[in-house]
Amino acid sequence: MKILQPHKISTEILDLIYEAKQYLIIVSPYVNFKYWERLASELVNAKNRGVRIDFFVRNEPENAASWEQVEALGITPRLVNNLHAKFYFNEKNGVISSMNLLSSSNSNSIEIGCKLENNEELDELKRFVKDFITTNEIKEKPNDEDLYVSKEKFTVVLQNYIYHNVGSSARAYFSNGVLIISGCSTKFTLSIDKVENKVYIDAVLSQDDAGFYHTEAHNHLRPGYFEYQFVQGGNGYHNMIGGYSKVRLSNTFLDNLRVNEKKELIAAISDFIKGVGDFKTKSRKLYLEKRDKEEAAAKKLKEEAK
47-74 tens-digit pLDDT? 999 999 999 999 999 999 999 999 999 9
223: Cβ contacts below 8 Å, ≥ 6 apart: none
pLDDT at 75: 97
pLDDT at 143: 93
Q: Tell whether the model's pLDDT for residue 222 goes beyond 90.
A: no
Put residue 228 in one of left, alpha, beta given phi > 0 → left and psi -120 to 50 → alpha: beta
Mean pLDDT is lowest, of 124-128, 195-199, 286-290, for 286-290
Residue 306 counted as domain residue: no
Same domain, 201 and 263: yes
pLDDT at 303: 78
User: Residue 68 belongs to what domain range?
Assistant: 2-138
Residue 62 counted as domain residue: yes
Residue 267 counted as domain residue: yes
User: Which residue, of 100, 118, 138, is where some domain finishes?
Assistant: 138
Q: Tell whether the model's pLDDT for residue 214 goes beyond 70.
A: yes
Domains in the chain, number: 2
* More confident site: 233 or 306: 233
* More confident site: 108 or 87: 87
Residue 254 counted as domain residue: yes
Look at residues 95, 100, 71 and name the one whose alpha carbon lies nearest to residue 83.
Answer: 100
52/22 Cα distance (integer angstroms)? 6
Same domain, 151 and 130: no
Q: Tell whether the model's pLDDT for residue 288 goes beyond 80.
A: yes
**Mean pLDDT of the 32-47 span:** 94
Residue 11 counted as domain residue: yes
pLDDT at 170: 93
Same domain, 131 and 155: no
Residue 268 counted as domain residue: yes
User: Which residue, of 138, 170, 204, is where some domain finishes?
Assistant: 138
Same domain, 80 and 207: no
pLDDT at 293: 87
pLDDT at 104: 82
pLDDT at 44: 97
Same domain, 117 and 224: no
- pTM for the model stands at 0.85
Same domain, 241 and 286: yes
Same domain, 119 and 167: no
Query: pLDDT grade, residue 292 (50/70/90)?
Result: confident
303/292 Cα distance (integer angstroms)? 16
pLDDT at 306: 63
User: Which residue, of 138, 157, 180, is where some domain finishes?
Assistant: 138
Same domain, 280 and 167: yes
Same domain, 186 and 58: no
CATH number, domain of 109, equals 3.30.870.10
CB neighbours (10 Å) of residue 191? 14
Mean pLDDT is lowest, of 57-66, 148-157, 215-224, for 215-224
Query: pLDDT grade, residue 109 (50/70/90)?
Result: confident
